[in-house]
Amino acid sequence: MRSSDEVLCFGQDVAFGGVFRCTAGLLDQFGRDRVFNSPITEQGMVGVAIGAAAEGMKPVVEIQFADYVFPAFDQIVNEAAKIRYREGTSGANLGGLVIRMPCGGVGHGALYHTQSPESLFSHIPGFRVVMPRSPTQAKGLLLSSILQSKDPVIFMEPKILYRAATEEVPIEDYTLPLDKAEILSQGSDLTIISYGRPLYTCQVAIEAAKQDMPGLSVELIDLRSIYPWDRQTVLDSVRKTGRAMIVHESMVNFGVGAEIAATIQETSLYHLLARVRRLGGWTTHTGLTYEKYIFPDITRVYDGILEIMQDE
């Protein structure tokens, strides 16, 4: 916001910092013309953001929880996603429009505070869908989304990491690429592809599996950008290791894992030494009592690693 007067920040309770205090202090620094609360209407706030972006502003609008975004789905799918295609190269492209939303499980979210709808948005051309795994990643990817992207961005933040992930975040400005996955650990036996919170689950499960399978070498990839995703990095890795497993928190049916698994199957079949595995949330609504049983945990990922390594 210091670098561009075009950047606006608004949403429900944003002016006093929001539910998760992500925007705390911005009102005092930049005033009510640029940081303000919106009425409780997701369709309205996204509609305002689209109009502002079409006129050259860079609105960062916060949906209080990803579960609340569905009333705005019409504005996102039928308006924002189509404007660049409709206007061509000479018209508005909505670059700088960012829709932020806390997503995923938190241990007590139940039906209306646990959803991760990234696969729904990834079906719609015109938007980028991004999910950072940590504070440093969040800063770099968010700055890229606001200041550099020519496409509007759905920026999904795993809410449990607001309190669980800690890092020393550089004070200076920096950006991270929106079209490049990151290899977190190199490996030669198995490729695990994930994003957001489950990356930490995967890291623990990998270390546990290594205790039972000495010499096991696992390559762990953080997609970072879910749509469009970095096919080349993933496919190069799978062709090297011969095995692939995709892990995500959102429901497994018609999910991100299905798209990645199909792409691997279509392009790298003869490099595979085992069937591609998908681990996701079970296909059910998330009741309060059962949340911890629905999302992939360390045991499920650990078991998946052992199974795929034994599947010749």
Residue-level pLDDT at 166: 79
The CATH number of the structural domain formed by 182-310 is 3.40.50.920
| Confidence (pTM) | 0.95
Using CA atoms, how far residue 18 sits from 21, 70, 236, 251, in Å, is 5, 19, 41, 27
Query: 42, 126, 45: which is closest to 78 by C-alpha?
Result: 126
Q: Which residue has the tokens 């080349």?
A: 232
Write the Ramachandran bin of 126: left for phi over 0, alpha for psi from -120 to 50, otherwise beta: left
CA separation for the pair 30, 28 (Å, rounded): 6
**Residue 113 among the catalytic residues:** yes
Q: In the prediction, which pLDDT does 90 show?
A: 67
CATH 3.40.50.920 in the chain: give the residue spans. 182-310
Q: Give CATH 3.40.50.970 domain extents, the chain.
A: 7-164
Residue 31 near residue 1, CB atoms below 8 Å: no
Q: Report the chain's C-alpha Rg in angstroms.
A: 20
Instruction: Return the pLDDT at 27.
Output: 96
How many Cα atoms sit within 13 Å of 208 on the Cβ side? 16
Local structure of residue 187 (DSSP, 8 states): -
Q: Is 108 a catalytic residue?
A: no
Render the burial of 23-53: b for 16+ CB within 10 Å, e for the rest: beebbeebeeebbebbeeebeebbbbbbebb
CA triplet 167, 171, 175: central angle to 5 degrees? Answer: 85
Separation CA 277–CA 41 (nearest Å): 40
Beta-carbon contacts of 149 under 8 Å, excluding residues fewer than 6 positions away, are 95, 96, 128, 178
Of the candidates 62, 113, 219, 249, the residue annotated as catalytic is 113
Please state, as a whole number, how many other Cβ atoms lie within 10 Å of the Cβ of residue 250: 25
pLDDT at 93: 85
CATH for 7-164 (3.40.50.970, 3.30.420.130, 3.40.50.720, 3.30.470.20) = 3.40.50.970
From first to last of its 312 residues, the chain has per-residue pLDDT tens of: 999 999 999 999 999 999 999 999 999 999 999 999 999 999 999 999 999 999 999 999 999 999 999 999 999 999 999 998 888 776 678 999 999 999 999 988 999 999 999 999 999 999 999 999 999 999 999 999 999 999 999 999 999 999 887 788 999 999 999 999 999 999 999 999 999 999 999 999 999 999 999 999 999 999 999 999 999 999 999 999 999 999 999 999 999 999 999 999 999 999 999 999 999 999 999 988 889 899 999 999 999 999 999 986
Q: Kindly provide the b/e burial profile for residues 105-136, where b requires at least 16 CB atoms within 10 angstroms of the residue's own CB.
A: bbeebbeebbbbbbbbbbebebbbbbbbbbeb
Angle (nearest 5°) at CA 65 between 61 and 69: 65
> Can you tell me the distance from the alpha carbon of 78 to that of 76, in angstroms, rounded to the nearest whole number?
6
Give the model's pLDDT for residue 167: 87
